[in-house]
Amino acid sequence: MDWPVEDLVAARAAATPDRTALVDADRDDTQSYREYDAAVGRWATALAALSDGDEPGRVAVLIDTRPAVAELFFAAERLGSSVVSLNVRLTPAELTEQVERTAPDVLVCERDTERVALEIFDGPVASVDAPERERARALDTLDGGPVEPATLSPGTEQLVVFTSGTTGQPKGVRLTVGNLLASATASAFRLGVSPGDRWLCCLPTYHMGGLAPVVRSALYGSTAVIQRAFDAESTAAVLDEFGITGVSLVPTMLTRLLDTGWEPSEQLRFVLLGGAPAPAELLVRCRDRGVPAYPTYGMTETASQIATATPEQVNAHEGTVGQPLVNTTVTLVDEDGDPAPAGGRGEVVVSGPTVTPGYLEPDVTDDAFGPDGLHTGDIGSRDEDGRLWVHNRKDDRIVTGGENVDPGEVVAVLRDHPDIRTAAVVGLDDSEWGERVAALVVPVDEVSLSVENVESHCRERLAGFKCPRTVRFVDELPRTASGTVDRARVLERLREGGE
């Protein structure tokens, strides 16, 4: 496949110049594809000028969610450069480490990140806002003259984005033009596309879940509506006032939306629900409220979705994340790397055109890939029709007294308790048993729940060695910015108050 040879905005501006491309929901500002293309062109010449007239190999972007991120992404694509997406919520030390690992040629910031940008990067720094410090330059004042658009290929590196790092150092994932286009195409087959679609982006654009709708909308010729930050009440208003037909959310966001009393409008076609498992209680609320929820299983390494369930599948097959998307192959393997038995559990291994060519470090890539593709570290199962269930992380497995405990099984039992909304289960070090099962439990709102009650519930349904021996209660599970349960912080909370 040699397509595309030019950036997506340029191609779309040539085909549908007057169609609405980008909406800034916070400022009610709208760009057509013609205007979007012109903005991308201005940023491209500025980036070239920032790197002394050369096309930068990598452009680091330290900017929170806003339309400028979309324009800079495609400006880099026009130059044949890749974007290093930096999380604005990281500490300077964490950002320095990621900058050193990616070695960008230039860094683009905004007013709120300017000080940190200058601290973590010695090279050229420019701001999309008026700079407040001497070394930072104003990006919109730089003009390197016309640039020759790069000729792209599917293997062109387009993006470096870091995983959430729930269990250790975040991995730098390299994604190509081909990865992003394959993901956008496969998603379109599952969700459908209409020229009038408006996809609301209120997830952080420094994560794949927030950036994917920007890329997809440009390919489809539909509209990306960008809201700078999720807020249950204001996001509910944006969904209605801007005629949103699709939105990407994590389960916590959707729960908060429903808690405001929000009702979906008739034009809303899908709520792509990812980043963390969707609790059964939430999906029941969606069904009762008429919310078209599509639970999805995906990861940064596959440019977003791997499998996605339709609302009909959700209602008929509790807990499934649906079949894999088109051209995505999922294999389940046992601990020896052999195919898992039919109906059994195994590690999810993914192959196909959406899968990253590798991480920043070759040794990390070698460890992650096998004969069947990318080893996700997730434990899953499938039914005879290929529907997938994802239970827990492989490295979440708890070994207590020589017995293996599947945390996903324990979580499922805890969620069956009528007074428990959700839970996280991990292993705590234990001098006698090696590890012991521990649970961080979120009760249903305004319910008083005792440790004894939880333990009794588990003893009736689980073998003794699987039952939590440490139980703590919290209002919300700690999560990463992308919505996954933050295991390191879960461990911290469970250790509070002593062992």
pLDDT of 206: 92
Q: For the chain, what percent of residues have pLDDT higher than 90?
A: 79
> How many other β-carbons are positioned within 10 Å of the β-carbon of residue 496?
8
pLDDT in tens, 327-378: 999 999 998 889 998 788 999 999 999 999 999 999 999 999 999 999 999 9
Tokens of 105: 């040629």
Determine the angle formed by the axes of helices 67-79 and 8-15, rounding to 10 degrees. 100
β pairing state of 304-308 and 293-299: antiparallel
Same fold, 8-229 and 397-495: no
Distance, CA of 38 to CA of 14 (rounded, Å):
12
CB 112 within 8 A of CB 228: no
Query: Cα separations (Å) of 90 from 83, 87, 94, 481?
Result: 17, 6, 6, 10
Q: What is the mean pLDDT of residues 107-119?
A: 98
Element (H, E) at 34: helix 33-50
Q: Is 134 helix (H, G, I), strand (E, B) or coil?
A: coil
Q: Enumerate the H helices of 229-361 as residue ranges.
A: 232-241, 251-259, 280-289, 311-316
Mean pLDDT, the chain, whole residue set = 92
Element (H, E) at 158: strand 157-162
Q: What is the mean pLDDT of residues 254-262?
A: 95
Tokens of 296: 């999805």
Max Cα–Cα distance, the chain, nearest Å: 73
Distance, CA of 425 to CA of 336 (rounded, Å):
25
pLDDT of 342: 79
pLDDT of 167: 47
Tokens of 488: 């390191």
Tokens of 214: 């920007």
Is 397-495 assigned to CATH 3.30.300.30? yes
What residues are paired with 273 via a beta bridge? Answer: 249, 295
β pairing state of 369-370 and 373-382: antiparallel
- Predicted confidence band of residue 2 (pLDDT cuts 50, 70, 90): low
Q: What is the mean pLDDT of residues 271-282?
A: 88
Q: Is 252 helix (H, G, I), strand (E, B) or coil?
A: helix
pLDDT of 403: 73
Higher-pLDDT residue of 206 and 1 is 206
pLDDT in tens, 55-94: 889 999 999 999 999 999 999 999 999 999 999 988 898 8
Which runs of E-coded beta strand occur in 203-313?
A: 223-226, 246-249, 270-273, 293-299, 304-308
pLDDT in tens, 175-200: 999 999 999 999 999 999 999 999 99
pLDDT of 166: 47
Pick one of 3.40.50.12780, 3.40.50.20, 3.10.20.520, 3.10.450.50 as the CATH number of 8-229.
Answer: 3.40.50.12780
Domain definitions of the chain by residue range: 8-229, 397-495
pLDDT of 168: 53
pLDDT in tens, 221-255: 999 999 999 999 999 999 999 999 999 998 889 99
